[in-house]
Amino acid sequence: MDIPTDTTPPPPRVEDAKPTTAAQKRAARGATRPGDRIFLALSRGSGIALLLVMAAIAAFLAYRASIALADNEGSFFTTFEWDPAGITSGGKPVFGIAVLVFGTVVSSIIALVIAVPVAIGIALFISHYAPRSLAAPIAFVIDLLAAVPSIVYGLWGALVVAPNLTGLYSWLDDYFGWTGIFEYQGGAPRSLMTVGILLAIMILPIITNVSREVFLQVPKFNEEAALALGATRWEVIRMSVLPFGRSGIISASMLGLGRALGETIAVATVLSPSFVINASVLDYGGGTFAQNIASKFNEANEYGRDALIASGLVLFVITLLVNGAARLIIARRKEYSGANA
Amino acid sequence: MAKRIDVSGLNAYYGSHKAIEDISMTVEPRSVTAFIGPSGCGKSTFLRTLNRMHEVTPGGRVEGKVMLDGDDLYGSGVDPVNVRRTIGMVFQRPNPFPTMSIFDNVAAGLKLNGSYKKSELNDVVEKSLKGANLWNEVKDRLNKPGSGLSGGQQQRLCIARAIAVEPQVLLMDEPCSALDPISTLAIEDLIGELKERFTIVIVTHNMQQAARVSDRTAFFNLAAVGQPGKLIEIDDTERIFSNPSVQATEDYISGRFG
Amino acid sequence: MSISTMKPTGTPGGESGPSNLKAARLPRWSPYVIAVGSLAVGCGIGLAAGLDSRLQWGLIAAILFVAVSYILSATVEGGRQAKDRLATSMVWVMFLLAVVPLASLVYETVQRGAKVFNGYFLSHSMGVVADKETGGGIYHAIIGTLEQVGLACLIAVPIGLLTAIYLVEYGRGKLAKAVTFFVDVMTGIPSIVAGLFVLSFWILILGFDFSGWAGAMALSILMMPVVVRSTEEMLKLVPNELREASLALGVPKWRTILKVVLPTAIGGITTGVMLAIARIAGETAPVLLLVWVNPFINTNPFDGAQASLPLYIYQQYQSGNQAGYDRAWAAALALIAFIMILNLVARGVARWKAPTTGR
């Protein structure tokens, strides 16, 4: 960033224009004084540091994972076992994430199926149904729901919610047990279903908040168009609010999904894990990526920890993709609504 | 088809703020009535009380009577949804539903009602678009989104949407203020045609426009900022613009304030 | 739901007479009566069928409420109004559904936690208490949590603030876009992954021991994006006129930012930082991997295993006996109280220091 000195003869006009724009740029960026330069360097450096942290996470996880995967006798993606110490196979490490993929996906889907409609309902309640004096306190209650630590959710889920679910599960078994999905043998209901219900409560706030923001952004004149045609409140929502907010709801759900996929301690507290794939979501057993790491960590040796890191890398990549996609949708929507505002 | 509106002793509030005070007037059927007046005089608020859109605004509240051929719009048992179906509205900014096609935009009001035949729907959409002088421009792209049209076309699309449900009255809130002169002219011509079938009330900032399109003109004013707006006088447009009975009207029209 | 009772109320603006505008409506009090009625019936069914869970009673009542309102409305008011009412009652039920867990969670925590929650509990560690014994406390865990959170703040707050300043005051172009995007993505990193990252490079590769500091590093990774996001929002609220006024006086940009922009937004920034603290104070997973467990008081976060409140809860819960459960609930009560107070104070600060400029 050096300005050509004034003594330089300015032959063509294009060259003449350049120093001015460069100078303007520098002035606009405020990088001419030492104080400014240091400050800019510091703040830009922080931004870069953040990017480096992200890169470092990927790099270090990948490095340690590669150590574990090099010696793995099983197939990482299809083996139904987690035995990095090789206890059952005479010292040869055998581990795979198939069971974890299943448990993580199933519990997250249950969570989404429950949470998304409820969250949309609450978001609509705050943005369109609640009396104005109630809207703010309700939004605050939702924020409190988000502030509760996951370990407390876990404790509550294991000691309060789970015992209360036996009745519901027996009922589901009576009427839907024939599907195989809702078979229930009795016993402590520390199953993927219970985990899913708990996760639903935990991801409710983020889905609600993002959807609410979107619903509140619906241009007034859009809703008035429907109202003036003689639409009821629900019809206004169906004609104006939901179409406008569709992409917002999708990205909100994906953010919620990201949370559900990576939730650790609440799942580790509630689930009674076993390394099997069970068709019934009501019976205990199964496991998720994050829960498996937390549960197996204490007894793992260094190689076992690397194996857990390998599974963590998969979780990292999945959540990265889900969150990145959600953010891209939001960003695109912003541009779209900005262009039309 | 077209109905008369009788307003008596109407007050409208935003929360505790009184926006318009004690308005009484008659709007004649099959005619164009224009509301003029300085900004903030409550003419748009008053317009919105005529189809119960005012109460949609948080804190919006209305006192007084609005009679549509003898039915009080604010009487007990009256459903605001039905009121708005009977009295259509066109807004300042063209507001077609962004996610719907041109066809669906026009059909939106009918579809709300649930009972319609496909062929019927086609007829109504064509008739309404023709009524809004838009048919020739869009007949080849009825399935394209309405937001792809120009501003003037969008506004005519909104008019088509409003007249598709066959309202008794059509309210227009500064329908041309966001449009260029050519589009404005198209809308003004359209208003002249529509008054054969509908009672039309139009709010406008543009006095020439009021003089051009309306049969009767109502002048609104407010004593000071923060005071409620009032109806100063309503008379035949010709008289208002040539020989108004109130001095304030003449001052406003001749450009001495406002 | 009996569809046969539905009558479409075709009221187009035709030639019909005065009744045109009117519509048969259910009286205003009807939703309340239906709500009370379904609640009573729900409880009745629950009692009669001997369902032990109150949750089921409530669910039955909610379903009854939605169904009865819909059917009544469909018969009296017609299909469109019925659908509108269905939507309204669904939305109300959804809202109540969200309140129930929060209420239950708070109630259970306070009720079960109060058992052993006292001055002794707050001022003693678990040093000489076996899992099954009663007694002991969370003093060591409180110290651990405070130190770890404090260290995490020392790392995350400066970096977060500066990054936000960069994004708002300087950031144009590709780098800023990349930072914005990855800050967003970073908010979604599972806490256990942050823990695994520090584990891999600090403990497995560099060979350091478990310590509070290791946990603090992982917590700071979780905290940074939250601080950046909230600070960014606040800086964007500072009106440009203020910056221009200062720059026009010949004040250099960096001093403008430090002396004009930051002080204007300081209330909101403080709120954001406190909410970020509230978030990481409850994190268990990274602490579990990096701080290990220590029943004794260790005030040095740089040397050896420590304890922390969330970790303590997990540990006590896992002991699997009543004494442990009691301690877990009491510690949960302490943690929730701490986080709720932080939340309330943060919101108070936001209101108190709300920028009064502009608008």
Residue B72, domain CATH: 3.40.50.300
pLDDT at res. C311: 93
Helix (H, G, I), strand (E, B) or coil at A190: coil
CB contacts of B83 in chain A (<8 Å) are 230
Is there a contact between A232 and C162 if contact means CB atoms under 8 Å apart? no
Residue in B closest to C77 by C-alpha: B79
> Which stretch of A132-136, A302-306, C195-199 has the lowest confidence by average pLDDT?
A132-136
Average pLDDT score, chain A? 84
Beta bridge partners of B26: B6
pLDDT for the residue B225: 80
Q: What's the pLDDT at A318?
A: 94
Q: Is C357 helix (H, G, I), strand (E, B) or coil?
A: coil
Structural domain includes residue B216 = yes
Q: What is the pLDDT of residue C25?
A: 75
Closest CA to A138 of A242, A223, A208, A234: A208
pLDDT digits (tens, 9 = 90+) for C94-143: 888 888 888 999 999 999 999 889 988 888 888 878 878 888 889 999 99
**How sure is the predictor about C227, in pLDDT bands with cuts at 50, 70 and 90?**
very high
Measured between CA atoms, how close is A291 to chain C, in angstroms?
Answer: 9
Of C189, C160, C168, the closest CA to residue C274 belongs to: C160
- Classified by CATH at the fold level, domain A99-299 comes out as MetI-like fold (1.10.3720)
Q: Domain spans of chain A?
A: 99-299
CA–CA dist C278, C291 (Å, integer): 19
Averaged over B142-168, what is the pLDDT? 88
For chain C, the structural domain boundaries read 25-113, 139-353
- Classify residue B17 as exposed, middle or buried by CB count within 10 Å of its CB (0-12, 13-18, 19+): exposed
User: Tens digit of pLDDT for each residue in B203-235?
Assistant: 998 888 999 999 999 999 888 888 888 899 999
Does residue B243 form part of some domain?
yes
Q: What is the ipTM of this complex?
A: 0.86
Whether the per-residue pLDDT at C242 is higher than 90: the answer is no
In the structure, what pLDDT confidence band is assigned to residue A335 with cuts at 50, 70 and 90?
low
Location of structure tokens 């206004």? A236
Find the CB nearest B82 among C8, C20, C79: C20
pLDDT digits (tens, 9 = 90+) for C7-37: 333 334 334 444 467 777 778 788 888 888 8
Q: How close C21 gets to chain B, by Cα (Å)?
A: 5
Helix segments in chain A, DSSP class H: 13-29, 34-71, 98-124, 132-147, 150-156, 162-164, 166-176, 192-217, 220-228, 233-236, 242-262, 265-270, 289-297, 302-340
φ and ψ at residue B13, rounded to 5 degrees = -125, 150
Residues of B in contact with C23 (CB under 8 A): 77-79, 81-82
Asked if the structure places residue B58 within a domain, the reply is: yes
- Start-to-end CA distance of chain B, whole Å, equals 37
Q: What would the mean pLDDT of B174-199 be, rounded to a whole number?
A: 87
- Confidence at residue B166, expressed as pLDDT on a 0 to 100 scale: 85
Exposed (0-12), middle (13-18) or buried (19+): which is A50, by Cβ within 10 Å?
Answer: buried
Using the beta-carbon criterion (under 8 Å), do C23 and B86 form an inter-chain contact?
Answer: no
Query: Does the distance separating the beta carbons of B108 and A227 come in below 8 Å?
Result: no
Q: What is the pLDDT of residue A14?
A: 39
pLDDT, residue C5, reads 36
Q: How far apart are CA C331 and CA B154, in angstroms?
A: 62
- What's the mean pLDDT in A165-191? 84
Measured between CA atoms, how close is B73 to chain A, in angstroms?
A: 14
Q: Tell me the CA end-to-end span of chain C in Å, nearest whole number.
A: 52
What is the tens place of the pLDDT at every residue in C269-326? 998 999 899 989 999 999 999 998 888 888 889 988 899 999 999 999 998 899 999 9
> The pTM is what?
0.84
Topology annotation, domain C139-353: MetI-like fold (1.10.3720)
Note the pLDDT of residue C339: 92
pLDDT in tens, B100-150: 889 988 988 888 876 677 888 889 899 899 888 889 888 898 988 888 888
pLDDT of residue A309 exceeding 70, the answer is yes
pLDDT of residue C320: 86
Over residues A123-130, the mean pLDDT reads 88
Q: Tell me if A225 and B82 make a contact (CB, 8 A cut-off).
A: no
Residues of chain B with C-beta less than 8 angstroms from the C-beta of A240: 97
Residue B242 lies in a domain: yes
Percent of chain B with pLDDT over 70: 98
B164 in a structural domain: no
Chain C residues within an 8 Å CB radius of A44:
166, 170, 175
> What confidence score (pLDDT) does residue A117 get?
93
The predicted structure's pLDDT at residue A334: 59
- Residue A1 clears pLDDT 60, i.e. is over it: no
**Residue B177 within any structural domain of the chain:** yes
B73 touches chain C (CB under 8 A): yes
